[in-house]
Structures are given as structure tokens and as C-alpha cells.
Amino acid sequence: MNDPITKPRTRARPKILPKTERPRLHKVILINDDYTPREFVVTVLKAEFRMTEDQAHKVMITAHQRGVCVVAVFTRDVAETKATRATDAGRAKGYPLLFTTEPEE
Ligand code: TYC
């Protein structure tokens, strides 16, 4: 009789799993200036980085007092796109608002 439960004839070949390295993350950094209104900085942070009023206000004040503040970290493409869009939002209003990016250590 045919036994439906048969042993595999060959031993399973060990699978070679390539190491999956995480992409390096990049910081988006907000730079202080003397001209952009505080409330506008908060508006941009809320719109582009999905922050609450409270979070955005804290980041804005930190940049205002210390000169710079890390806004968030993303993969390189996302960080650069968001920094560019946020900087452009200021430029559209004639403000020198600046967001930069740099790789995390
Ligand atoms: N320093 C600006 C002012 O006093 C406000 C400001 C804060 C601008 C943070 C940019 O990244 C900034 N109106």
C-alpha cells in the first residue's frame, strides 16, 4: 500500500540568508534665524513633520535658543525631501527658514 506520509528523500539544503543591513538614518535639523516668525516655524513643523502644537513649539524654541534643533530622523531620501519642502515653504513667504540634513553616526 502507498503510505501518503513519506519521508523526504533529500535533506533540506541550509538556506543562505543574506544579512539585512538597516539603512543609515539621517537627521533633519532646524536652523535658527532672526527673521522667520516663531508661529510660522511652528506651522511648518506641524505640516511637514506631523507634530502637535506642543512638539512643534518645543522644537522651535530649542532652535531659537540654541541655534539648531534635531527635528526627526528618516531614511536619507525622506529626510532630504522633507527638509527641502519645509525650507521651500519659508522661501515661498520670503523667509530665510532653513532645514538641513546630516547622517546619524
Ligand atoms: N528666531 C526667530 C524669531 O525670533 C524664530 C525662529 C525660531 C526662526 C527657530 C527659525 O529655526 C527657527 N522670530
What CATH number is given to the structural domain containing 90? 3.30.1390.10
Indicate which atom in ligand 1 lies nearest the CA of residue 69. 11
| Atom 5 (ligand 1) nearest CA | 38
Q: What is the mean pLDDT of the chain?
A: 91
Q: What is the mean pLDDT of residues 79-94?
A: 98
Q: Within the chain, how many helices (H) and strands (E) appear?
A: 3, 3
Look at the chain and report how many structural domains it folds into: 1
Report yes or no: 73 and 65 within 8 Å, Cβ to Cβ.
Answer: no
Asked if the structure places residue 49 within a domain, the reply is yes
Asked if the structure places residue 37 within a domain, the reply is yes
User: Would the CA dihedral through 92, 94, 97, 103 be positive or negative?
Assistant: positive
Whether residue 1 is predicted with pLDDT greater than 50 in this model: the reply is no
Q: What is the mean pLDDT of residues 72-95?
A: 98
- pLDDT reported for residue 81: 98
| Atom 4 (ligand 1) nearest CA | 34
pTM recorded for the entire structure: 0.83
99 CA distance to ligand 1 middle (Å): 12
Whether residue 3 is predicted with pLDDT greater than 60 in this model: the reply is no
Q: Which domain holds residue 73?
A: 33-103
Of 32, 34, 51, 62, the one to substitute when testing ligand 1's pocket (max ligand atoms within 8 A of C-beta) is 32
Q: Cα separation of 20 and 8, whole Å?
A: 31
Asked if the structure places residue 41 within a domain, the reply is yes
Q: What is the mean pLDDT of residues 49-63?
A: 98
Whether residue 28 is predicted with pLDDT greater than 80 in this model: the reply is yes
